[in-house]
Amino acid sequence: MLSTQEAQEGEKLVLALNNLTGRTMVLNRPKALNSLTLPMVQTIKRYLEDWEKSDLCDVVMLRSNSRKAFCAGGDVVQVSRDWRDGNKAQAMEFFRTEYKVNHHIATYKKPIVAMLDGFTMGGGVGLSVHAPFRVASENAVFAMPETKIGFFPDVGATFFLPRLDGELGVYLGLTGQKLKGRDLLYAGIATHYVPSERHALLEQRLQGLGTSDYTAINLAIEEFVAQPENSQSEDFVGVVNDVPIDFSLASVRDVIDICFKFNTIEAIMQALTEVANQPGPASEWAQKTYDQMNQMSPSSLKLTLEQLRRGAQLDIQKAFELELVLAERRLESHDMHEGIDALLVRKTNDAAWDPENINAVDIRELYSQYFEGEHETTPLYLGSTPFTEYPHKFGLPTEQEILDVVSGESPQAGGFGMTYELVMEFFMREYESKMGVEQKVNWVLSRRTELGDTGGTLRVIKS
């Protein structure tokens, strides 16, 4: 229950705008890049509950008051301070309430549109990535940098990161690598790309739409999207390595799968070392990635890898329940508080990790500490049905969906023997010529398929 003071603080830092049948939450803590405090997440929780019940509300929008940051994360400095001052219940209440909000967004009974303009990290990802509509601008910067502060990717990352293409989610979760602008669309984090200058008009359009129909809302957002900068290559001749696509990870996408497919951090680091020592365009990326991971908490890296591997098999509710257990046990660790101090308080980026390297982290002890034994589960948002895949799909097709059409494993596509033209025609029809579909499908086909033996049909290259 919020105190009067907490409610007043929350309402100052999270503004509520009512216009026609639209409701907008505006994050209003710009000096802290909209980092979430407990009163803020408590206020967001209350708004979501009230608007879900209201017959006057058709669509909920989330945005920031600043183009610099949608939300740069949770106020973990305060959480760490509370824990070390003995206010452990207060520290855990932040995570418990935050995860309830994230879970509620994932299972909300009305459309939610998150406007990603500026830094979208940690807690900001939790407020957006579970929504059916995620609109990124050219200013959007996504990252899950928790391993750098001795924590783990939370706010539902256990669920959403393993469901990105291939090993992309594991790579992002372990390294904290930033993605910008259109990257979010092609990575599957955003569903639409709309320039920042159009966001206000889009908000007005949705406020006056007068419906909670998801298809209508999707079409309304599509009215504002920007054309991709790169067009489809004219000549498809099987495997083409240089298909233009505005995605910063395009050139290393397959190498990410090669290096991050393993189930131990040691094997991943060894794979990165091997790529770094080979001539080729991926060498520099591999060395940089290896160096990035060496800066992270070794115990956080091993914890995160196990968390994400398990998360691929969990439903949405179990994923959040696991994170709540991990959060409490991580607060008991040395590395989380040391990492927060080094990066966010002292700002020296010189954390003294314990253990100090990955070889010193006993994986059996880590499993016992974080994943085994009895623990109390706290109910999250009740009244929802758990799911293992997000119920709404308004983004681009996944790589696996594209390859399933080629291999004949997609029941909607009608079997084997499809040419490049037929595959492209299928996706453009299914996605109603959505911006970005042509580019992604063309790019995936160029990397992952080759011409078959008959009639220009395609077959999937075995990885």
From residue 188, alpha-carbon distances to 143, 161, 164, 359 in Å are: 13, 10, 6, 33
Please state at what angle helix 437-448 crosses helix 420-430, rounded to 10 degrees.
Answer: 150
SS3 333: coil
Query: Cβ distance 24 to 77 under 8 Å?
Result: no
Residues with Cβ within 8 Å of residue 394, at least 6 apart in sequence: 132, 133, 191, 192, 214, 218
Work out the angle at residue 417's Cα, subtended by the Cα atoms of residues 412 and 418, and round it to the nearest 5 degrees: 60
How buried is residue 63: exposed, middle or buried, by Cβ count under 10 Å (0-12/13-18/19+)?
A: buried
Pairing of strands 449-451, 458-460: antiparallel
CA angle (41, 44, 45) in 5-degree steps: 85
Question: 1 vs 6, 8, 103, 365, CA distance in Å?
Answer: 9, 13, 19, 38
- Tokens read off for 333: 């660790």
Please name the residues in contact with 3: beta carbons below 8 A apart, sequence gap of 6 or more.
Answer: none
Enzyme catalytic residues:
74, 123, 146, 154
